[in-house]
Amino acid sequence: MKYLFELSKEHKTLPLAEILACLETENIDYNILESNEDVLLIETNSNENIIKNLTGRLSYTFYMDQFLFSCLPSSGELKKQLSPKIIEKKGSIAIKYKNRSKNIDSQPIVKALAEIYTKGREVTLENPDIEVRGLITDSTVYVGLKSAEVNRSQFEERKVQNRPFFSPISLHPKLARALVCLSIIKKDEILLDPFCGTGGILLEAGLIGARVIGSDIENKMIEGCKKTLDFYKVNDYKLYCSDIGDIGSHIDKVDAIVTDLPYGKSTTTKGEKMNNLYMRAFESMSRLLKNGGRAVIGLSNEDLIYIGEKFFSKVEKHNFRAHRSLNRYFVVYEK
Ligand SMILES: C[S@@+](CC[C@H](N)C(=O)[O-])C[C@H]1O[C@@H](n2cnc3c(N)ncnc32)[C@H](O)[C@@H]1O
């Protein structure tokens, strides 16, 4: 079966990396048939429900569809493709589309889709049995049957402004979720954030079923983090007020680490030089992470990535522009 993931395009590399990490987490065998900024198209023998469940983890994808076909974005091309792609499932239907091209008129394309697929069926936009989705880009129209939709509004609802404890240091929940996905953490495994701040990463990990451990040098962060985790009913957590150098006295090995290191600007380093703090941090984290585990680390300075490479091997890097004066680098390391 072929599945099409409609990427959000909010970032150049994270949407794809997040899906590939989730496929790896679930040990799904697949071949990539097409990959670009708009879509990921894969072929797999895995059960549809397993693929569908991935969307419960993802944050930078809109939809996952059963792929029908793709072609040049014109109604003529579309009509040539349609006849062998008849939908066997019975029931009512809706044709939905997204046009990501400024140059292509979507109306003839949508009309062509409707002519073929709505024949002899009840058309309804409210809870149709079948939803045909067209994604129009400058070069291609991708057509699929909606299989699952990512609940993206949840991430906006969980923004730090809406949580019981606020601090501007917190990552956007969408980004925090993607970082958790990159760590390939499985349900019931242990994820550590040793610079947990408000707990944005722990919250996203806890919500997908990880057991979470957080620590931070600031007691007020630990108290705030506790309020947040309790508010969202993440129950399986442990929190410690601890310097990164001492966290090993509280916990044993963990399956994954996801953290956002202090940037030395808005977040405190207690006067410690960044190089020194990063060296101590990577040293501690390498002692705590299980062999083969992943550490997904946010850094403010590209020149400090090498410190992590003294302890781990680097898998990939994602650049992130937080705002004009702040670039972040999220690096996936493996032990
Ligand atoms: C960038 S913030 C983390 C933000 C967090 N991801 C969130 O969503 O709120 C870094 C955190 O590291 C903590 N920190 C600074 N120095 C530390 C140290 N030596 N050991 C442990 N935590 C430290 C700060 O108190 C701060 O909360």
Residue nearest to atom 1 of ligand 1 (CA): 262
Specify the pLDDT at position 12: 95
Q: Rounded distance, CA 48 to CA 292, Å?
A: 29
State in Å: Cα 319 to ligand 1 middle: 20
pLDDT in tens, 295-333: 999 998 899 999 999 999 999 999 988 776 678 999 999
Which residue among 177, 195, 265, 268 is best mutated to probe the pocket of ligand 1, counting the most ligand atoms within 8 A of its Cβ? 195
Q: Are residues 102 and 199 in the same domain?
A: no
Whether 9 and 116 map to the same domain: the answer is yes
Query: Final residue of a domain: which of 97, 123, 149?
Result: 149
- Asked whether residue 326 falls in the same domain as residue 222, the answer is yes
- The residue contributing the CA closest to ligand 1 atom 17 is 217
d(Cα 297, Cα 289) in Å, to the nearest integer?
13
Mean pLDDT of the region 281-302: 96
Residues in the chain, overall count? 335
Domain count, the chain: 2
The CA 189 to ligand 1 mean position distance, Å, reads 23
Looking at the structure, do residues 142 and 228 belong to the same domain, yes or no? no
Burial class (CB in 10 A: 0-12, 13-18, 19+), 265: exposed
Residue 203 has pLDDT above 60, yes or no: yes
Q: Domain residues for 171? A: 156-334
Tell me: do 139 and 217 sit in the same domain: no
Q: How far is the CA of 267 from the centre of ligand 1 (A)?
A: 7
Percent of the chain with pLDDT over 70: 97
Whether residues 185 and 330 fall in one domain: yes
Per the CB < 8 A criterion, the answer to whether 299 and 261 are in contact is yes
In this predicted model, what pLDDT tens digit does every residue of 236-268 receive, in sequence order?
999 999 999 999 999 999 999 999 999 876 556
Cα of first residue to Cα of last residue in the chain, in angstroms, is: 34
Q: Contact 241/215 with Cβ under 8 angstroms? A: yes
Regarding whether 172 and 120 lie in a shared domain, the answer is no
Q: How far apart are CA 219 and CA 284, in angstroms?
A: 20
Q: Is the CB of residue 44 below 6 angstroms from any atom belonging to ligand 1?
A: no
CATH of residue 38's domain is 3.30.2130.30
Q: Does ligand 1 come within 6 angstroms of the Cβ of 204?
A: no
pLDDT of residue 207: 98
Which residue has a Cα nearest atom 3 of ligand 1?
197
Atom index in ligand 1 nearest the CA of residue 270 equals 16
Same domain, 292 and 326: yes
